[in-house]
């Protein structure tokens, strides 16, 4: 009979590759291969396919991987656990069980070789039978390779079986050990699971919270630029500047939120406390949109305070929400964690998609005599309140990691000390060092310095990136204002200008499977190495094309607009309310008007506020006052007197027509157009412009107590109209004059620019996030994510600067942005040629070696 010492003396080198077979191919594929990158997965797939062959030991892949695994298992049990469990090649997941039951395992392995071969004792009880087949992790494979399976693998299989038996027999000792084993230093607790899955229940609260928060932010943002223009009455340039200032601040504050979360409060409390600030900001912003509360200054102050509070709240949620969701998973739930981030990104886009479609509809609802911005802001505010309640309700289920050290601060200290130390020794004559960061070695370890070097290489590539965001974020400002001068009539429904932003998240949802399953594999089959940096450069070029298309569309719109006055100019026209013709002699303009007729606009140049005189029929004088960059109509009444009224000097909102009433009847009249009623208009008087939906309307005139439908008129998108009530013989009539032509360019012409821009975003933004993650050392990924957010913030600053300092025609401004990004595209492409990619697996392994050391 073989003695227990004999197998030990003849023990062969551990064949770790065959141990993978014992663990089961399906389990390895689901838990290990799928989360890995494609090259790694292909290598392991090839290995596992060859593993069942009889000549496995001769296979080069088998030999290479087996040598690699043997190298990782150098050292004691703790080193094995760290290298195996944390490295990119770790597939033997039961090593955790070995560590938890270290004593029992050592006792079992000291005697197992004899037990397996001879059917000896099992768990201290005599036995005369060999291990049953169900004790094997992979019985069929074991039968095929029984004679060649080394003792270590059989020991592992036996240990797996003992663990299963412990579960069946309900050994309380082992159960308590498994429940109290810490996960990276965190106390464990019973985790509730979503029904029918391995996902923790806590992520449901995180995902729903994110959906509500993104709905609230994008919903508010969708109508923001129109709120500035048409409620606060700011000009388009000021509205654009403030819009991008808010957007920029929303990407600066996450840096502060990340510092607070990592250094002080932790992710949970940072999200909770700043979400309260977020809610307060929404409430203040909603109150500021109530017309009856205060004056224009009050509304402006409340809007600014509310928006600042909202951006501070975003600083707490944006950098922490995704990471907090990832914290809810245990170390072995790699597959579930990767799927969570896909679900999380889908929640963001669904919130954006729904809010950008619904909020403009709420804005279009009439309240307080105009567009209902109160409702447009109150619904996002309500969603943010719901988000706060849901997030707080999930508190008992969350895994909450308390802050340990702030990597961002470590990087800042390392860079700061290197610069300071280099400056301090500038005249010492010391030997030059290979890199300027090497001057930090006196205070910081080599691992940190090397990681910072890698981060700075990537951050150098980030320098040109803000220019892309400068173009991309104009979808919510300049492109929305462009849509206000276009027709949104689709027959059965009307598309609002601010609803066009819905096209971006909708196209993203459509593009994700097309790009991942169709375009990228096709490019790969064509033999093109479409690297991440090449994708990002392609995204930049597509954004250039999108803005060229936007410039062409804007040029078409401008061709339909009148020439508005600029500089010291003013526009003036005459409306004759008499039945008889009137001859008008004015500076630089003379015309003969028939009864109830309007002249064309004439341009006058004069000192601002100066009064000038005109002659009517050479018998009466009429005066008007000059105002720069304004348009006026001079009403000529029956007794040849003049009444100067102000005309629109810009296009009205795209989904509205604007109409005013001028009364040429001798009596006081009331005019009703649809649901709008204008009362008590005196003879020779008028009512200012009122917005109405586009459509065909009956004009109801009430004169001397009698109401009649006197005319039917078509009022179209973006048109400005003057309706004059007068008499034709003995009958009352209404005559329509076009003050500004309606929008004739259809809003569908914006689809190509949105299509191309979204394709550019897919290649630039999503690839950039992946690039930032894979190229960063494991300990520095948060630093690069912070740097990525800063590129978005600086992109909005560029728009803010150009819009405030470069007063160009809109189509020329679009071309300027396209030209600037094209220059950046060339620079970035050259930088990408010289960039050397870092293998993400190398980053992982280097980090594991640091942990062991």
DSSP secondary structure letters along 626-683: --TTEEEEEEE-TTS-EEEEEPP-S---TTEEEEEEEE-SSS-EEEEETTEEEEEEPT
Residue 64: what pLDDT? 53
Higher per-residue confidence, 714 vs 431: 714
Residue 60: what pLDDT? 54
The closest of 722, 691, 724, 692 to 710, measured between CA atoms, is 724
**Over 70: is that where the pLDDT of 259 sits?**
yes
The closest of 474, 810, 482, 814 to 653, measured between CA atoms, is 482
Asked whether 831 and 460 are in contact (CB, 8 A), the reply is yes
- Say how many Å lie between the first and final Cα of the chain, rounded: 45
For the beta carbon of residue 142, count every other beta carbon within 10 angstroms.
20
Distance CA 582, CA 585 (A): 10
Distance CA 645, CA 688 (A): 9
**Over 90: is that where the pLDDT of 174 sits?**
no
**Over 50: is that where the pLDDT of 180 sits?**
no
Q: Six-digit token pair at 525?
A: 């089959």
**Over 80: is that where the pLDDT of 54 sits?**
no
Mean pLDDT rounded to a whole number for the chain = 76
The closest of 698, 695, 693 to 672, measured between CA atoms, is 698
Residue 21: what pLDDT? 43
**Over 50: is that where the pLDDT of 850 sits?**
no
Asked whether 654 and 747 are in contact (CB, 8 A), the reply is yes
pLDDT-derived band at 80 (thresholds 50, 70, 90) equals very low
Residue 789: what pLDDT? 81
Pairing state of beta strands 582-586 and 611-616?
A: antiparallel
Backbone angles phi, psi at 621, to 5 degrees: -105, 150
Asked whether 533 and 763 are in contact (CB, 8 A), the reply is no
Backbone angles phi, psi at 184, to 5 degrees: 55, 40
**Over 50: is that where the pLDDT of 38 sits?**
no
Residue 122: what pLDDT? 38
pLDDT-derived band at 176 (thresholds 50, 70, 90) equals very low
Query: Where in 704-842 does DSSP place strands (E)?
Result: 706-715, 720-728, 731-740
Residue 768: what pLDDT? 81
Q: Could you read off the pLDDT of 55-73 as tens digits, one per residue?
A: 444 555 545 555 554 444 4
Type and span of the H or E element at 687: strand 686-693
Higher per-residue confidence, 50 vs 516: 516
**Over 70: is that where the pLDDT of 266 sits?**
yes
**In the predicted model, what is the mean pLDDT of residues 326-344?**
76
pLDDT-derived band at 349 (thresholds 50, 70, 90) equals confident
**Strongest mean pLDDT among 17-26, 41-50, 754-763:** 754-763
* Residue in the block written with tokens 């039951």: 101
pLDDT-derived band at 758 (thresholds 50, 70, 90) equals very high
Type and span of the H or E element at 775: helix 767-775
Distance CA 297, CA 50 (A): 76
Higher per-residue confidence, 658 vs 3: 658
**Over 90: is that where the pLDDT of 545 sits?**
yes
Question: What is the chain's alpha carbon radius of gyration, rounded to the nearest angstrom?
Answer: 37
Distance CA 693, CA 494 (A): 10
**Strongest mean pLDDT among 435-449, 499-513, 537-551:** 537-551
Distance CA 806, CA 797 (A): 14
Q: Could you read off the pLDDT of 85-99 as tens digits, one per residue?
A: 333 334 443 444 444
Distance CA 509, CA 490 (A): 23
Higher per-residue confidence, 634 vs 323: 634
pLDDT-derived band at 185 (thresholds 50, 70, 90) equals very low
Residue 458: what pLDDT? 85
Q: Which DSSP string corresponds to 468-520?
A: HHHHHGGGGTHHHHHHTTSB-B-SS-B--GGGGGGHHHHHHHHHHHHIIIIIH
Q: Six-digit token pair at 446?
A: 């080599």
> Lowest-confidence range among 115-119, 376-380, 645-649?
115-119
Residue 84: what pLDDT? 37
Q: Could you read off the pLDDT of 459-481 as tens digits, one per residue?
A: 888 899 999 999 998 988 899 88
Higher per-residue confidence, 174 vs 318: 318
Residue 148: what pLDDT? 37
**In the predicted model, what is the mean pLDDT of residues 525-537?**
89
Higher per-residue confidence, 588 vs 351: 351
**In the predicted model, what is the mean pLDDT of residues 492-499?**
83
Q: Which residues pair with 722 in a beta bridge?
A: 660, 737
Q: Could you read off the pLDDT of 372-414 as tens digits, one per residue?
A: 999 999 999 999 999 999 999 999 999 888 776 677 778 888 8
Q: Is 414 helix (H, G, I), strand (E, B) or coil?
A: helix
The closest of 801, 779, 800 to 86, measured between CA atoms, is 779
Backbone angles phi, psi at 32, to 5 degrees: -120, -50
**Strongest mean pLDDT among 80-89, 114-123, 632-641:** 632-641
Contacts of 339 (CB under 8 A, 6+ apart): none
Backbone angles phi, psi at 598, to 5 degrees: -125, 145
**Percent of the chain beyond pLDDT 90?**
26
Residue 780: what pLDDT? 67
**In the predicted model, what is the mean pLDDT of residues 772-795?**
76
Residue 655: what pLDDT? 66
Higher per-residue confidence, 548 vs 21: 548
Residue 537: what pLDDT? 94
């Amino acid at each position: 009979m073989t003695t227990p010492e004999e197998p030990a003396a003849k023990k062969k080198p551990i064949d770790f590759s065959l141990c993978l077979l014992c663990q089961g191919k399906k389990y390895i594929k689901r838990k290990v291969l799928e989360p890995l990158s494609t090259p790694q997965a292909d290598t392991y797939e090839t290995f596992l396919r060859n593993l069942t062959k009889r000549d496995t030991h001769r296979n080069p892949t088998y030999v290479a991987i087996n040598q690699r695994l043997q190298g990782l298992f150098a050292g004691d049990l703790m080193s094995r656990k760290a290298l195996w469990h944390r490295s990119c090649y770790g597939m033997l997941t039961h090593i955790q069980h070995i560590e938890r039951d270290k004593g029992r395992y050592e006792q079992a392995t000291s005697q197992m070789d004899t037990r397996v071969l001879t059917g000896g004792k099992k768990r201290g009880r005599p036995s005369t039978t060999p291990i049953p087949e169900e004790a094997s992790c992979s019985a069929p494979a074991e039968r095929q390779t029984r004679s060649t399976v080394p003792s270590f693998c059989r020991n592992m299989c036996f240990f797996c079986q003992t663990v299963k038996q412990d579960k069946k027999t309900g050994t309380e000792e082992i159960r308590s050990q498994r429940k109290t084993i810490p996960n990276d230093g965190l106390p464990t607790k019973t985790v509730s699971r979503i029904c029918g899955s391995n996902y923790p229940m806590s992520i449901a609260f995180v995902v729903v919270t994110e959906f509500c928060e993104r709905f609230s932010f994008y919903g508010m943002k969708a109508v923001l630029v129109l709120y500035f223009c048409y409620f606060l009455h700011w000009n388009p340039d000021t509205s654009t500047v403030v819009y991008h200032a808010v957007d920029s601040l929303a990407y600066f504050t996450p840096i502060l939120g990340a510092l607070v979360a990592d250094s002080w409060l932790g992710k949970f409390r940072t999200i909770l406390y700043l979400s309260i600030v977020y809610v307060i900001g929404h409430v203040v912003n909603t109150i500021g949109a109530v017309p009856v509360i205060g004056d224009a200054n009050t509304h402006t102050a409340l809007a600014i305070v509310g928006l600042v509070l909202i951006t501070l709240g975003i600083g707490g949620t944006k950098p922490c929400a995704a990471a907090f969701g990832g914290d809810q998973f245990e170390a072995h739930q790699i597959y579930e964690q990767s799927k969570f981030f896909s679900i999380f990104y889908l929640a963001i886009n669904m919130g954006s998609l729904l809010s950008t479609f619904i909020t403009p509809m709420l804005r279009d609802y009439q309240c307080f005599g105009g567009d209902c911005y109160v409702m447009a802001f109150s619904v996002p505010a309500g969603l943010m309140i719901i988000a706060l309640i849901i997030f707080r309700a999930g508190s008992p289920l969350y895994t909450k990691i308390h802050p340990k050290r702030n990597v961002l601060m470590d990087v800042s200290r390392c860079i700061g000390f290197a610069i300071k130390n280099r400056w301090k020794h500038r005249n010492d004559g010391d030997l030059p060092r290979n890199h300027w960061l090497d001057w930090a070695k006196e205070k910081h370890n080599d691992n940190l310095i090397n990681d910072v070097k890698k981060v700075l290489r990537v951050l150098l590539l980030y320098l040109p990136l803000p220019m892309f965001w400068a173009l991309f974020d104009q979808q919510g400002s300049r492109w929305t204002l462009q849509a206000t001068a276009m027709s949104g009539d689709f027959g059965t429904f009307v598309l609002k200008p601010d609803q066009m932003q819905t096209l971006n998240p909708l196209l993203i949802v459509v593009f994700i499977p097309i790009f991942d399953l169709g375009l990228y594999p096709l490019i790969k089959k064509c033999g093109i190495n479409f690297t991440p940096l090449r994708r990002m450069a392609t995204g930049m070029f597509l954004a250039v094309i999108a803005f060229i298309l936007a410039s062409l569309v804007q040029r078409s719109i401008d061709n339909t607009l009148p020439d508005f006055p600029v500089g010291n100019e003013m526009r003036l026209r005459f409306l004759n309310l008499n039945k008889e013709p009137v001859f008008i002699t004015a500076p630089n303009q003379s015309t003969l008007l028939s009864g109830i007729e309007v002249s064309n606009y004439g341009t006058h140049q004069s000192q601002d506020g100066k009064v000038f005189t005109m002659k009517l029929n050479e018998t009466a004088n009429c005066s008007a006052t000059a105002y720069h960059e304004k348009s006026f109509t001079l009403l000529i009444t029956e007794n040849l007197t003049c009444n100067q009224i102000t005309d629109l000097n810009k296009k009205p909102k795209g989904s509205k027509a604007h109409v005013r009433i001028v009364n040429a009847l001798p009596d006081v009249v009331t005019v009703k157009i649809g649901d709008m009623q204008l009362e008590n208009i005196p003879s020779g008087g008028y009512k200012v412009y009122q917005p109405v939906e586009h459509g065909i309307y009956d004009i109801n005139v009430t004169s001397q107590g009698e109401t009649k439908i006197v005319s039917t008129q078509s009022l179209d998108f973006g048109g400005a109209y003057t309706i004059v009530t007068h008499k034709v013989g003995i009958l009352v009539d209404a005559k329509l004059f076009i003050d500004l032509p309606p929008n004739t360019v259809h809003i569908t012409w914006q689809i190509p620019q949105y299509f191309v821009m979204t394709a550019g975003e897919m290649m630039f933004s999503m690839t950039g996030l992946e690039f930032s993650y894979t190229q960063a050392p494991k300990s520095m990924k948060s630093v690069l994510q912070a740097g990525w957010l800063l590129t978005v913030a600086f992109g909005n600053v560029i728009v803010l600067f150009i819009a405030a300092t470069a007063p160009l025609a809109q189509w020329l401004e679009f071309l300027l942005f396209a030209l600037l990004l094209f220059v950046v595209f060339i620079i970035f492409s050259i930088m990408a040629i010289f960039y050397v990619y870092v293998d993400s697996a190398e980053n992982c392994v280097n980090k594991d070696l640091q942990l062991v050391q």
